[in-house]
Amino acid sequence: MKNIAVLVSGGGTNLQALIDAEKSGIIKSGKINLVISNNPDAFALERAKKAGIKTVVCNKKELGSEFENKLISVLEENETDFIVLAGFMCILSEKFTSHFERKIINVHPSLIPSFCGKGFYGLRVHEAALNYGVKVTGATVHFVNEIPDGGEIIMQKAVEIKDGDTPEILQKRVMEEAEWKILPLSLEKVCSELK
């Protein structure tokens, strides 16, 4: 059973999808034993506490240049085997990503290589998709390396764009139809394959 840490910054809807997937048996090769947030006010911390999962706050503003060192020490103290970035709004350096090579995954709300990389997060991704006029979008789960959204793709799921979609409506549909489905499946896949 692999120890999984989930890194969050906000509401924690993807974290909730993972907690629910673990309860329902979709995730069976690992257990979420730690949730770390860079934001002390993240509602994701409440979700974790309600599920009985240990929480730690690593405030980037307070820690400054020690932020990643603190993250690494907390992850190692908790014997973390695998890390999930679930709405974690901090770009991690090569020093961090290479320390946990092929042990960090992220979910991104588009079909990479479209609408990804530096500056593409949250509603910005869906605004860009709608402005460009694409007919299909979706979500991608990928390994994390030093390039934002640049790691090897694990799983993707397409979502149709409908007439009248706003960025908010599209964001919700992408979460419900793609992110919340492929993130747990990808986590189970990589945990089951991890030596």
Q: Domains of the chain by range and CATH?
A: 2-193 (3.40.50.170)
**Edge-to-edge order in the sheet of strand 82-85:** 54-57, 30-37, 2-8, 82-85, 104-108, 136-143, 153-160
List per-residue pLDDT tens for the chain, 195 residues long: 999 999 999 999 999 999 999 999 999 999 999 999 999 999 999 999 999 999 999 999 999 999 999 999 999 999 999 999 999 999 899 999 999 999 999 999 999 999 999 889 999 999 999 999 999 999 999 999 999 999 999 999 999 999 999 999 999 999 999 999 999 999 999 999 976
Report the pLDDT value the prediction gives residue 194, as an integer from 0 to 100.
78
Could you tell me whether strands 153-160 and 30-37 are parallel, antiparallel, or unpaired per DSSP bridges?
unpaired
State whether the Cα torsion 185-186-189-195 is positive or negative.
Answer: negative
Indicate the pTM of the whole model.
0.94
> Do 8 and 87 form a contact (C-beta atoms < 8 A)?
yes
- Active site residues per annotation: 108
- Give the 3-state DSSP-derived string for 129-184, with helices as H, strands as E and coil as C: HHHHCCCEEEEEEEECCCCCCCCCEEEEEEEECCCCCCHHHHHHHHHHHHHHHHHH
